[in-house]
Structure 1
Amino acid sequence: MTIRKFTEDGVESFEAEIDGEKIQWDAGLSYARHLQTERLLSAQVPVSDKPDEMLFIIMHQTMELWLKLVLHEARLAAAAIKADDLDHALKTLDRIATIQRHMIHSWEVLATLTPHDFLTFRGFLRKASGFQSHQYRELEYLLGNKREDLLLVHTDDRAAHARLTAVLNAPSLYDELLRLLARRGFAIPASHLDRDWRRPYEPSDAVEDAWLTVYSAVETHWDLYALAEKITAIEYYFQEWRFKHMKTVARVIGQKMGTGGSSGVAYLVKALNLSFFPELWSMRTRMVAPREGPSYATPADGGVAG
């Protein structure tokens, strides 16, 4: 077996025939250097000698990597909406939804951690908790769940605190969506277009009316309708992720308190009632079938629809 050396673009390169294929590599960028695999694979540092802790660490590290990508894509989607570039926004939102589905399924791996397995190392975790994930908090802020008090958990990390503060003080993805509706001529209240972005979002009847108009004339507002459905899917999958998280925690620790002091499963159940895009959900209750001639939605004889 021989290796042929040559220079390409000023970089020392190599070629060898392996299994009938001409495989090339060079002294510049390699797979390991590009992906920083040495740093990545050395980042699993258990705090106990219990074998099941490795699963716990890798599971949460991979979740943080996916959160990083979702944040990256969500920022791109918000920028595209702000620039009225809905084609790119739709593509990016599709990618986020695909990542979310993968994240939902990944809880199945952690669910193989039995209560006995977890209790062998849980005490070593002290007060470390997923509640302290600054990327999860940033994603909630970016999507619109603005809670300034949640910043308190991150005061010991100045960089994370500064980043979260910046996201808290900026319009959310939904805020940008409402500004888009206003640019399209919908009567969005001024109070929802320029406000204190740190404050939790308050639903508006006028915003709900605007979405109802979009959904009642989808051919006229097709791009807004398609965008709204992609946005709704993000929350749909986010809630499914939250639910699988809650059920996995219940399966592993039951009703115990969380390591970070929260009520554990009970706290995660409360999170299921949070909504990023409230009017996109409430509007659905008011929708009726479009009338094309006599219709069960609005009876031609004035009677009660059955």
Structure 2
Amino acid sequence: MGHDTVETPNLSFGRGRTPGRSTPYAQYVRLDELHSLQHPRSKEPAELSFIVTTQVMELLFDLIRHEWTIARQALREDDLPTALAALRRGTHAQDVLVASWDLLGTMTPQEFNSFRSLFGEASGFQSAAFLHLEFLLGNKNAALLTMYDGMPDTQDGLVEALRSPGLYDEALALLARRGLELSPAHSEQRYRPSEEVAAAWRRVYTEPEFAALQPLGEALLDVAERVTRWRQRHLSAVKRTMGGKPGSGGSSGLTWLRKSAEQDVFPELWTIRDEL
């Protein structure tokens, strides 16, 4: 090969570009906006990690909601392969969400206290995206909607989620349509386990006629297990960083987190394990 055939890569890295323009990559992911959203209020270096991690969690909440909404609609349409694919993608996002606690889990009380007072009553408990996920899981509580009285668009979205069937509701409705003895009816209250639902899942796992539904049960358990991991990591991080002090938004802190971590998601899928 002659040297005159070799193309030299352009290493100018933007020199000579029209002022004010950016790369297609920067435009696509809106880098300028993304990197302008972090505004620490103190000189504590750990505060930037706190802000970035919180923002990443919020983005992951939205991504998981996107996948669970697709899965819920697919279940409603009896499209099990699409539902399983969406749940699988969602679990990958959940894994990243759980791992994101690594960025905050070792923050010392001194580091956190150096900027905690600067964000006032702000609390992750006020996250509308997180509450939307809780409603999709069946952990519904209409009283929490009062936090968004001054945010009508946000509140309307949450009211719709409160009144609509959740992910588990649609899974149970699919089981009923596939011949299992269920009379599913969604509620605006927190989901309560029932023996009827446990009996239906028991048949899925023990009767060949319904074996094709086992992947749905396992996919829902994958979701549920990761929700529990998230709650446990949250509890651990708060316990290490601030102990038993009340939460910044007025929540009961560790008491609420501990109770949440002990609550099984999709409970019948866990309880029938005793008999299988």
Q: Which amino acid aligns with 1:151?
A: L
2:37 alignment counterpart: 43
2:125 alignment counterpart: 131
**Most deviating of 102-111 and 198-207:** 198-207
2:211 alignment counterpart: 222
Query: Structure 1: how far apart are the matches of 2:23 and 2:168?
Result: 40
Query: Structure 2: how far apart are the matches of 1:114 and 1:133?
Result: 24
Question: Which structure is richer in relative contact order (CA contacts within 8 A, separation 6 or more)?
Answer: 2
Match of 1:116 among 89, 110, 124: 110
2:245 alignment counterpart: 256
Q: Is the 8 A contact 2:227 2:265 kept in 1?
A: no
* Residue correspondence of structure 1 range 166-177 to structure 2 within 5 A: 166-177=160-171
SS of aligned partner of 2:9: strand
**Pairwise CA RMSD:** 2.1
Query: Structure 1: how far apart are the matches of 2:44 and 2:262?
Result: 36
Query: Structure 1: how far apart are the matches of 2:26 and 2:219?
Result: 36
Query: Structure 1: how far apart are the matches of 2:140 and 2:178?
Result: 26
Q: Is the 8 A contact 2:94 2:226 kept in 1?
A: yes
* Residue correspondence of structure 1 range 8-87 to structure 2 within 5 A: 17-18=9-10, 30-87=24-81
Unmatched runs of 5 consecutive residues or more in structure 2: 1-7, 12-16
Higher strand share goes to which structure? 1
Whether 1:235 aligns to 2:229 is: no
2:197 alignment counterpart: 207
Q: Give the CA deviation at 1:28.
A: 9.6
Q: Which amino acid aligns with 1:261?
A: G
> C-alpha deviations, 1:161-193, integer Å up to 9, x for none?
11100100100001101110111011102xx33
Query: Structure 1: how far apart are the matches of 2:258 and 2:81?
Result: 35
Q: 1:253 to 1:28 in 2, by over 3 A?
A: closer
1:270 alignment counterpart: 259
Q: Give the CA deviation at 1:279.
A: 1.4
SS of aligned partner of 1:120: helix
Q: Which amino acid aligns with 1:242?
A: R
Query: Structure 1: how far apart are the matches of 2:238 and 2:219?
Result: 29
**Most deviating of 262-271 and 28-37:** 28-37
Query: Structure 2: how far apart are the matches of 1:61 and 1:216?
Result: 44
Q: Give the CA deviation at 1:128.
A: 0.4
Give the length in aligned residue pairs.
263
Q: Give the CA deviation at 1:201.
A: 2.0
Query: Structure 1: how far apart are the matches of 2:192 and 2:98?
Result: 28
Query: Structure 1: how far apart are the matches of 2:170 and 2:178?
Result: 12
Q: Which amino acid aligns with 2:257?
A: L
Q: Is the 8 A contact 1:86 1:223 kept in 2?
A: no
Q: Which amino acid aligns with 1:237?
A: R
1:3 alignment counterpart: none
Query: Structure 2: how far apart are the matches of 1:286 and 1:114?
Result: 44
Q: Give the CA deviation at 1:151.
A: 1.2
Whether 1:178 aligns to 2:168 is: no
Query: Structure 2: how far apart are the matches of 1:250 and 1:200?
Result: 26
Query: Structure 2: how far apart are the matches of 1:84 and 1:231?
Result: 16
TM-score normalised over the length of structure 2: 0.89
Q: Which amino acid aligns with 1:278?
A: P
Whether 1:147 aligns to 2:141 is: yes
Greater Rg by CA: 1
Q: Which amino acid aligns with 1:74?
A: W
Query: Structure 2: how far apart are the matches of 1:239 and 1:283?
Result: 18
Unmatched runs of 5 consecutive residues or more in structure 1: 1-15, 20-24, 288-306
Higher helix share goes to which structure? 2
Q: Is the 8 A contact 1:143 1:174 kept in 2?
A: yes
TM-score normalised over the length of structure 1: 0.81
Q: Give the CA deviation at 1:29.
A: 7.7
